[in-house]
Structure 1
Amino acid sequence: MEFLFGVAVLFGIALVLALKSFGINQEYERGVVFRLGRLQATKGPGWFWLVPLVERVVKVDIRTITYALDTQETVTRDGVAVRVNAVLWYRAFDAAGVVTTVSNWQSAIVQAAETAMRDAIGQSDLDQMLKDRTTINKRLYEILTTTCNRWGVEFDAVEIKDLDIPAQMQRAIAREAEAIREKRARIIKAEGEQEAAAKLSDAARVIGEVPGALELRRLQTLSEIGIEHNSTIIAMFPTEILEAAKRIAMPATSPS
């Protein structure tokens, strides 16, 4: 009786160990297997079996992780204090490297990203941050990729989300933008006046070369005024008619 009881106990222990040694990885999981503390293999999705009391497994999620960094206060290259935050998209591409290279790899990624963001902003001017944020994102991406690839982590994207600058600097930027717009408006107006003057000079040249053109233009102006306004119009004789009348009258009044 005692023998049967001992066999049952041993069988129960063996069954429990067998069940504990059996595992399943989801499609987005990888299992890093250690045998007596030494790295053995990485198990893919599906079921796997471990040697009881000898092997253990550490599971790693390989899906893309989205993380919003806390707002950081730092100084740009031109000495302006700014507050920025960013969003990270990263994932583990080497499950064994993630487990064996760094402890608490997700926390390490966050710390590296915060440091890299301060470095990237410290190498950039405020104007560049306001106008060309893509370049800063690219620089931040390169810094993080160089740092984290050896941990078995790769980044899909890094984007600076918000940028807060002091109120005094905001007013200065607004004044600068207003001055630029005013300058542009004055330049456009001057270019228009210059173009109009050139066109008027060309028109005067054409009218001067064709004597009848001035009279035709005068008649057209009179017709336009008559259509737009119901008023009395006083028009002077054309200069050409007066000159012709003078030439005709001069022989008749000359002494014989």
Structure 2
Amino acid sequence: MTADSIALTGNSIVWIVGIAIVAVYLASAIRILREYERAVVFTLGRFAGVKGPGLIIVFPFLQTLARVDLRTIVLDVPTQDLISRDNVSIHVNAVIYFHVVDAERAIIQVEQYIYAMSQLAQTTLRSVLGKHDLDEMLAERDKLNTDIRAILDGQTDAWGIKVSNVEIKHVDIDESMVRAIA
């Protein structure tokens, strides 16, 4: 074995290791997005664009991505305790249907759009229903649903979110008020 053949073998190993590292790096750059997903891509922290669906390439260490689901999200608003305009203590819960229409704004304009939507829905539900009497809440539920949807939709336009429907599920009266009314 001569010195030339040993040097050649050393160079071959370096090339093989280098090619293997590049192949692993390129393989980790490949991402696949489903039809209902979009990726908001950031290059070195700056917005680089929205990509997807299908096969996309995101270079590790240089680019990051945030996946956004474009399907309709069903958000259950937890039970809210409120007092109606005629001073009746009420427990109300609702469900909200919304979807992302602009993935870029949903990621850049608000930190966690689902959590923000939940908080906004809770406060809007309390503020809108607190302005009405108990009779109005029970008789005009469709009108109240439409009013809440319009308020939520108007406030979430800046986030790239479209509220498609709001449904008040239950309006329960406090037991002490049931006895007092009876």
TM-score scaled by length of structure 1: 0.64
Larger Rg: 1
Structure 1 unpaired stretches of 5+ = 176-256
Contact 1:24 1:47 in 2 (8 A): yes
What's the CA shift string for 1:151-183, capped at 9, x where partnerless? 11111101100010134544676x7xxxxxxxx
How far, CA to CA, are the matches of 1:28 and 1:72 in structure 2? Answer: 32
2:53 to 28, 45, 50: 45
Q: Distance in 1 between matches of 2:94 and 2:139?
A: 17
Counterpart contact for 1:94–1:153, Cα < 8 Å: yes
Q: Quick one: structure 1 residues 132 and 171, their matched pair in 2 at CA, closer, same or farther if it must change by over 3 Å?
A: farther
- Equivalent position to 2:161, from 146, 153, 159: 153
CA distance in 1, matches of 2:45, 2:112: 18
SS in 1 for 2:78: coil
Task: Pick closer, same or farther for the CA change 1:167–1:58 going to 2, 3 Å.
Answer: closer
- Of 135, 144, 163 in structure 2, the residue corresponding to residue 136 of structure 1 is 144
After the TM superposition, which residues 230-245 of structure 1 pair with which residues of structure 2 at under 5 Å, given as runs? Answer: none
**1:124–1:136 CA contact under 8 A, matched in 2:** no
Counterparts of 1:129 and 1:62 in 2: how far apart (Å)? Answer: 32
Percent identical among aligned pairs is: 36
More strand by share: 2
Q: From 21, 35, 38, give the equivalent of 1:27.
A: 35
Distance 1:67 1:24 in 2: 27
| Kept in 2: contact 1:78–1:125 (CA 8 A) | yes
| Kept after mapping to 2: 8 A contact 1:84/1:160 | yes
Which has a greater percent of helix?
A: 1
Aligned twin of 2:6: none
Residue 76 (structure 1) aligned with residue 84 (structure 2):
yes
Matches within 5 A, 1:161-240: 161-167=169-175, 169-170=177-178
The amino acid of 1:65's aligned partner reads I
1:61-140 aligned within 5 A: 61-140=69-148
- Does the 8 A contact of 2:148 with 2:166 survive in 1? yes
Aligned counterparts of 2:142 and 2:150: Cα–Cα separation in 1: 12
Q: Normalising by the residue count of structure 2, what TM-score does the alignment of the two structures yield?
A: 0.88
Query: Looking at both structures, which has the greater relative contact order when contacts are Cα pairs under 8 Å and sequence separation is at least 6?
Result: 2
Match of 2:67 in 1: 59
